[in-house]
Amino acid sequence: MGPQGAAEDEGMMRGTAQNTVKNGFRGKAIYSVLASSGAALKYAAFLFLGLAVAACSSSLYDDALETATARDGQGADEQAEFYAAKALEAAGGVDVEPLAAIASVAETADARQRLTAAFNLGAKEAEPDMAAVAQTAYDCWVHEIAMDSGAAPAFECRGRFLSYISRLETALAPAPAPVAQAPQPANFTVYFGFDEWSLSAEALEVLNTVIETARAGGHGLIRAEGHTDTSGPASYNDGLSVRRAEIVKTVLVEMGALPEAIETIGYGETRPAVATGDGVREPLNRRTLVTLIP
């Protein structure tokens, strides 16, 4: 075909492209790509899309077209044509496979494997938009490396791929299994008479509730903290508080608790429930605090 014939053919394709846009097909964006450089493949792609794209809901088409438009605007004709061809494949109903990985760039092999795994989980059906962006970004990354377009375009496509494949994997991940409600800490208090560490009937009822609660809630640890009031020497009260904690442990073990699951500690008069001066007999301070710990 001579120059004049080629020019006429180009003019005819350009006019058809314009008419296709006017007729309501999704052609405006691709017209700017396909008609701008006058490449025959781009015109052919557009003319085919004029017939097919009205019925095509391919997200891959949309994203490949967007990438083609961007690369054309940057003056990268060969790359723009590559993405326009991808758009044509998608519009034609072809299940477009991701490009082969670059053998010398191991990361691309891992990337393709992640993309394929997502597709096998139904990403194209469940998340078509994200799947399309991830695939186009991957193809862009691999293609830009293969074309030796420079580090910047490949790095940009790589970043976009990593962002979208992560989102896609998150979206496809199965819902976590319901987690059983963890037992909550629970506190109980038993009280003692003055200078005593024996347990009253009321205290035994409290400890029985402790055991029942621990069994029902699955608590793994019991802590018994003994306390005293400020009456008497502090050194004496230290020992008294330990005895109050230990008697609680002894009874809990008799009720069925495991000895190794109970820890005891005596705080003497250092942690009163009711603040008093020294030498004060305060019933609320003569106690053992029992805490159930998950």
- 253 and 198 in one domain? yes
The reply to whether 278 falls in a domain is: yes
Helices 3-22 and 40-52 pack at an angle, to 10 degrees, of: 30
| Distances 63 to 18, 134, 138 between C-alpha atoms, Å | 22, 9, 12
The reply to whether 177 falls in a domain is: no
Within 8 A by CB and 6+ apart from 141, the residues are 108, 111, 154, 157, 158, 161
Instruction: Tell me the two tokens of residue 2.
Output: 């001579």
- 158 and 25 in one domain? yes
- 240 and 110 in one domain? no
CB 203 within 8 A of CB 191: yes
Sheet containing 262-266: order of strands: 186-191, 287-293, 221-227, 262-266
Give the number of domains in the chain.
Answer: 2
Successive 10-residue mean pLDDT values, the chain, 294 residues: 45 39 36 43 43 47 80 78 79 82 93 94 89 89 87 87 91 82 86 96 96 86 95 92 95 94 93 96 97 89
- 108 and 215 in one domain? no
CB 220 within 8 A of CB 207: no
Task: Return the DSSP state at 227.
Answer: E
State how far the Cα of 156 lies from the Cα of 166, in Å rounded to an integer. 16
Of 172, 194, 215, which residue constitutes the final position of a domain? 172
| Distances 183 to 33, 60, 87 between C-alpha atoms, Å | 63, 49, 56
Structural domain of 266? 186-293
- 101 and 246 in one domain? no
Can you give the pLDDT at residue 83?
A: 80
Can you give the pLDDT at residue 112?
A: 95
The reply to whether 99 falls in a domain is: yes
- What dihedral angle (degrees, nearest 10) is formed by the CA atoms of 137, 139, 141, 145? -170
Strands 221-227 and 262-266: parallel
The reply to whether 179 falls in a domain is: no
- pTM here is 0.49
Residue type (1 letter), 258: L
The reply to whether 180 falls in a domain is: no
Can you give the pLDDT at residue 58?
A: 62
Partner residues linked to 190 by β-bridges: 288
- 166 and 190 in one domain? no
- 47 and 127 in one domain? yes
Of 144, 172, 200, which residue constitutes the final position of a domain? 172
- 270 and 194 in one domain? yes
Considering Cα of 67, then 71, then 72, then 78, what sign does the dihedral take?
negative
The reply to whether 178 falls in a domain is: no
- 104 and 220 in one domain? no
- 17 and 127 in one domain? yes
State how far the Cα of 82 lies from the Cα of 145, in Å rounded to an integer. 14
State how far the Cα of 226 lies from the Cα of 246, in Å rounded to an integer. 8
Of 172, 206, 226, which residue constitutes the final position of a domain? 172
- 130 and 204 in one domain? no
Q: Residue holding tokens 């691999």?
A: 142
